[in-house]
Chains A and B, each alone.
Chain A
Amino acid sequence: MAERSDSEEVKLLGMWASPFSRRIEIALTLKGVSYEFSEEDITNKSSLLLQLNPVYKMIPVLVHTGKPISESLVILEYIDETWRDNPILPQDPYEKAMARFWAKFVDEQIYVTAMKVVGKIGEERDAVVEATRDLLMFLEKELVGKDFFGGRSLGFVDIVATLVAFWLMRTEEIVGVKVVPVEKFPEIHRWVKNLLGNDVIKKCIPPEDEHLQYIRAHVIVSSCVLSLGFV
């Protein structure tokens, strides 16, 4: 395969606290791809972002040799197909389909349900916590006998599920609800420890203190907005 030239520009429009943006950084770093990161203010979107992602107007957007790609799962697959070192997805079509299935499950089921914890109290919150745990139990079972979802090493699902490890589980601290208690989810906790043993993960996840501050501020705003009936 021909060497990639230095003039091949890789740019990522992202946001430091977004799990969808960070997962792209993990993938690029795992592959040893140099990239320029452009921090977007999502409350005041740049004209570049609006131009490169006119459909959703959201980060992350990867720009490679001038061409934009949006939607984080689509971007991850593009990265895997373009830079072949350290594959993220399995080679086998069935294993690949399973990886895609679990990634979609994390984003469309776990994330959507877990987000509802914020701003809820009492019985309503308990119901959301229960629903989130039911979904997480599928991931728990997937991890039995494995260091990572990808097997012996990090893969597609691990990268996507950092959302659970470093966003959902950090939000627990702030909202004061143990959504993922270790006694119910020993495999997930073991997996998080394995993730933290990986240099690329450590480098690419948001720094804990700043992140907790950000989540705290976000939760307060969301709770106020919800309690005032704006949402």
Chain B
Amino acid sequence: MADEVILLDFWPSMFGMRTRIALEEKNVIFDYREQDLWNKNPILLEMNPVHKKIPVLIHNGKPVCESLIQMEYIDEVWPSKTPLLPSDPYQRAHAKFWGDFIDKKVYASARLIWGAKGEEHEAGKKEFIEILKTLESELGDKTYFGGETFGYVDIALIGFYSWFEAYEKFGNFSIEAECLKLIAWAKRCVKRERECF
């Protein structure tokens, strides 16, 4: 029986992007369904009753919520193609730690850049740069966060790159000036996507 894979998503979501990329990496054919977040579809409310948020991955009728959990699920269900996580338990833990860090830190501080004013906005900008520098330090001189292969941590972070220009405009600063290596990494990821897909 062929797999039925549906993704409920919202086009600018950096979280939805993770799941889209993971499915593409695995060459999984899926039905992308754009959601109106201001007028939520009954299917979204039924498939994610706890959070009522996108992205929701529906595999053969069963919903999986939360983008990092979806990435792990995708990696486990389609294991033979392009592993997203390493097989060594310590390396896996390391990757999950950084994925979790990205989840906890990046969105919240970026939100203050475009959503807050005055002191809160400045504090958000400062914190955002510090967070990116921490990630840059973790990246080091590696091609990707996992080393030579594009994987889980890269996918967890890359969606935010498409928002960088917006953050820069709202924050009146240059992310590249602060985090040159990280921007180089992002450009490598984008170039890779163009060459692969």
Contact = CB atoms under 8 A, between A and B. Distances in A.
Interface of A: 55, 64, 67, 69-71, 73-75, 77-78, 81-82, 93-94, 96-97, 100-101, 104-105, 138
13 contacts: A69-B90, A71-B96, A73-B100, A75-B93, A78-B90, A78-B92, A93-B76, A93-B77, A94-B73, A96-B76, A101-B69, A104-B66, A104-B69
Contacts of B73: 93-94, 96-97
A69 B93 contact: yes
B93 A55 contact: no
B64 A74 contact: no
Contacts of B76: 93, 96
B100 A71 contact: yes
A56 to B, nearest CB: 9
B136 interface: no
A94 B64 contact: yes
Interface string B55-84: 000010010111001101100110000000
B32 to A, nearest CB: 20
3 smallest CB-CB distances across A and B, nearest first, come from A81-B89, A93-B76, A78-B93
Nearest to B134: A55
Interface residues of B, number: 22
A51 to B, nearest CB: 15
Nearest to A64: B90
A71 B50 contact: no
B173 interface: no
A97 B62 CA distance: 11
B97 A100 contact: no
Most chain B C-beta atoms within 10 Å of own C-beta, residue among A67, A78, A93, A105: A93
Chain A at the B interface: SS class:
helix
B93 A138 contact: no
A221 B70 CA distance: 41
A77 B96 contact: yes
Contacts of A97: 64, 69-70, 72-73
Given A77-B93, A96-B72, 13 more contacts: A64-B90, A67-B90, A69-B93, A74-B96, A75-B93, A77-B96, A78-B89, A82-B89, A93-B77, A94-B59, A96-B76, A97-B64, A105-B50
A136 B62 CA distance: 23
B101 interface: yes
A55 B101 contact: yes
Contacts of B92: 77-78, 81
Nearest to A103: B69
A182 to B, nearest CB: 23
Contacts of A55: 101, 134
Contacts of A100: 66, 69, 72
B89 A70 contact: no
B48 to A, nearest CB: 10
Nearest to A65: B90
Nearest to A105: B50
Nearest to B48: A101
Nearest to A81: B89
A168 to B, nearest CB: 18
Interface string B132-176: 001000000000000000000000000000000000000000000
Most chain B C-beta atoms within 10 Å of own C-beta, residue among A97, A105, A138: A97
A74 B101 CA distance: 11
Most chain A C-beta atoms within 10 Å of own C-beta, residue among B92, B97, B100: B97
B72 A74 contact: no
B40 to A, nearest CB: 18
Nearest to A67: B90
Contacts of A138: 50
Contacts of B101: 55
Nearest to A83: B89
